[in-house]
Amino acid sequence: MSSFHSQTSVVPSLDEVQIEHRGAVSLIRLSRPRKRNAINDGLMAAIGQRIAELPASTGAVVLYGEGEHFCAGLDLGELKDRDAVDGLHHSRSWYYVLRELEQGRVPVIAALHGAVVGGGLELAAACHLRVADESAFFALPEGSRGIFVGGGGSVRLPKLIGAHRMLDMMLTGRVYNAADGVGIGMAQYLVPTGQALAKALELAERVAANAPMTNYALIHGLPRIAEQPADHGFLTESMLAALAQSAPEAKARVRAFLDGSGPKVKVQSKP
């Protein structure tokens, strides 16, 4: 079996997933540009390790790719020798890491450029916010390669763009350019070419300045509430609201607004 989740022999390729800390923001860089940041077992294990080892001082993460592309998806070189059992465990190893990322302690913002394809799009979909620059393009070439998504794409992508659009992408090989992709919900922000990382950093700094409990309640609460019957959702919401507002930080922020020193809500010139 080649899956690192079912086998301890996979060594995380830490040199291919670099980490840097800038204040409360940690930057995780996919660093395998020769292969367009295609994800093999070692690289996926390294993403998992970088997430697991985030320091307590991290309030938000930016995930981005080195070189001309965000990520070319699964390293197809690994696929040729994999049997059905290996394939099952391989998928589960991706689920494990992407769940750690999606259901971790802090929000993760993906900065997207160039190819965001196959497993690269599945990785981006597990992040909480996505910023695309105008060079980004989105595709699911699995259909044309005779395979299927295996990194949680069939669960996460229909929630972003709708099952009918994902079906189209996989059946016909349709590629969305950045503007059209953002228009259908692949990402929340569109910026000029070369500016995705800067915009993601700016957003991450803002996110990291929120009360940690509010961020935690958002990334853990909202997706779960969306899956619950309304009656359960109301109860979950009320509990998260109670928890967030009881934190000392919330009290201090509310007091600051009431005494005139806290920020007011302002219209921003750009989203």
Residue 74 sits in the site that holds ligand 1HE (CB under 6 A): yes
Interface with ligand 1HE includes 98 (CB under 6 A)?
no
Q: Is 199 in the site for ligand 1HE (CB under 6 A)?
A: no
**Smallest Cα–Cα separation from 70: which of 13, 125, 7, 150?**
125
Q: At a CB cut-off of 8 Å and minimum separation 6, what does 146 contact?
A: none
Residue 227 catalytic? no
Q: Which residues contact 235 (CB under 8 A, 6 or more apart)?
A: none
Binding mask 152-191 for ligand 1HE (x = CB under 6 A): ----------------------------------------
Other residues' Cβ atoms within 10 Å of the Cβ of residue 76: 16
Contact 158, 122 (CB under 8 A): no
Nearer to ligand 1HE, 104 or 118 (CB): 118
| Distance separating alpha carbons of residues 193 and 197, to the nearest angstrom | 10
Nearest-approach distance from CB 102 to ligand 1HE, in angstroms = 15
* Residues 47, 61 contacting (CB under 8 angstroms): no
- Report the alpha-carbon distance of residue 135 to residue 68 in Å, rounded: 9
Q: Which stretch binds ligand 1HE (CB under 6 A): 8-16, 55-63, 65-73, 160-168?
A: 65-73
Which residues are bridge partners to 139 per DSSP?
A: 117
Determine the residue with CB nearest ligand 1HE.
118
Task: State the nearest-atom distance from the C-beta of 188 to ligand 1HE, in Å.
Answer: 23
- DSSP class of residue 79? G
Give the integer Cα–Cα distance in Å for 66 and 180: 24
Q: State yes or no: residue 38 binds ligand 1HE (CB under 6 A).
A: yes
DSSP 209: T
Ramachandran assignment for 234, one of left (phi > 0), alpha (psi -120 to 50 degrees), beta (any other): alpha
- Active-site choice (53, 142, 202, 249): 142
Please state the closest distance from residue 23 (CB atom) to ligand 1HE, in A: 32
- 249 annotated active-site: no
Pattern 107-146, binding to ligand 1HE, x per CB under 6 A?
A: --------x-xxx---------------------xx--x-
104 binds ligand 1HE (CB under 6 A): no
Q: Rank residues 70 and 216 by Cβ distance to ligand 1HE and give the closer one.
A: 70
Burial class from Cβ neighbours inside 10 Å (0-12, 13-18, 19+) for residue 133 reads: buried
Marked catalytic residue, from 122, 134, 227, 237 = 122
The residues assigned a catalytic role are 122, 142
Site for ligand 1HE, rule CB under 6 A: 35-36, 38, 68-69, 72-77, 94, 115, 117-119, 141-142, 145, 147, 149-151
